[in-house]
Amino acid sequence: MGDTLSLGTLSNEIFNESNITKSYTDPTSTIYISIGFVILAVIANIGILCVFLADFAYWNRCYFLLIVLSILSITNCIIMLDKKVNILVKKIYFTTRKCFDSSQYSFFFTNNQKFIQLSIAVDRLLAVTCQKFYKKMNSKYYVLIILLLSIVFSITLTCLELTYSNHNDLTNVSFIPYIFRNKGKLLWMTCNSVISFFIIIISTTTYLSIKIYLKDYTFHKNTRSGMKIRRVTLCLVFNIFLHTLTTLIFGIGFLLSYLAITKYCLDDMYLKKLTWLYIIDITLYLPIPMWRTTDAQSTTNILTVCFYRRNVFKQRNNKIEPFNNKMII
């Protein structure tokens, strides 16, 4: 039996084989909605990149990490879009191993994104709490070490997950949470929940440090400095909320998997929830907090350059300051 089977070639004899675990779900609505998320994320991240590249004067280490995160998101979204359209058009059944093989690049970029998210959280904490030490660090080596660690982490996790991809499980929903079974699923949830937990702790510490800073210095909320700090705290609150939700859902998954009290139907419902959390996390992690700042107007003007040239020219006369402060995210 081949790795992929079209709907027309499936027969009762195939399903009656005892060595095959069946996972059949109608993926049409899920795929359509996920395609919508992916297209939105691609457009938003391209706009963010345009704003980032519009003015080199404000570039710093965190700036570069945000650009890397945005590029990873765009690349991952394009891979996902191609895969989802392929499944929707051809209506193919995959073995989970074949699904993993076809998704390994997406999985690799996803692991990179999670590590970069953690790196940005640590970077902001250092910038706020250890300013002298942070300024003394060599920027080139600093960024290079983060990128190398990200690649090593991604390769290691991808190889570990490869050992847990089962050849015999047959599924028509080729999303990453559906690929893993048993130890593989626990490993995937462990890595994501641990990273999310650390981001929560680090972001909360950064947020509290800013609050302590504000007690010593008074900023009116409508001043330039006050508005910057409000944007900073808003991004931090968003990060804390998102990763708290991630940790909570993965925690429930740990409980269900460890106690083994669920039948397939309940487990399948839970995997669907993981799927949406996964899709939102890798596609809209950066655009959502970005869109809650005043830089959204700059992004919109650049995205609609063909229709609003005058606005773009006006923006060039006024300095665009995306994330232009040392206390962000």
Residue 6 has pLDDT above 50, yes or no: no
Q: What is the CATH number of the domain that holds 252?
A: 1.20.1070.10
**Is 8 a domain residue?**
no
**Is 102 a domain residue?**
yes
Q: CA nearest 23: which of 177, 162, 184?
A: 177
**Is 173 a domain residue?**
yes
Tell which wins on pLDDT, 18 or 40: 40
Work out how many domains the chain is built from and give that number. 1
> How far is residue 253's CA from residue 27's CA, in Å, rounded to a whole number?
21
Q: What is the pLDDT of residues 124-170, one digit of tens each?
A: 888 878 878 888 888 888 989 999 999 999 888 888 877 766 556 66
Residue 318 has pLDDT above 50, yes or no: no
**Is 6 a domain residue?**
no
Tokens of 221: 């909320």
- Residue 288: half-sphere exposure toward Cβ, Cα within 13 Å: 15
**Is 186 a domain residue?**
yes
Residue type, 170: L
Question: What element of type H or E holds 21?
Answer: strand 21-23
**Is 295 a domain residue?**
yes
Q: What is the pLDDT of residues 253-304, one digit of tens each?
A: 655 555 554 454 445 555 555 666 666 666 666 665 565 555 555 544 444 4
Q: What is the pLDDT of residues 51-61, one digit of tens each?
A: 777 766 556 78
- Domain span at residue 302 reads 15-317
DSSP string computed for 224-262: HHHHHHHHHHHHHHHHHHHHHHHHHHHHHHHHHHHHT--
**Is 1 a domain residue?**
no
Residue type, 228: K
Bridge-based pairing state of the strands 92-95 and 169-171: antiparallel
Bridge-based pairing state of the strands 169-171 and 21-23: parallel
User: Which of 54-58, 179-183, 311-315 has the highest mean predicted lDDT (pLDDT)?
Assistant: 179-183
Residue 25 has pLDDT above 90, yes or no: no
**Is 61 a domain residue?**
yes
Q: Would you tell me how many other CB atoms lie within 10 Å of the CB of residue 201?
A: 14
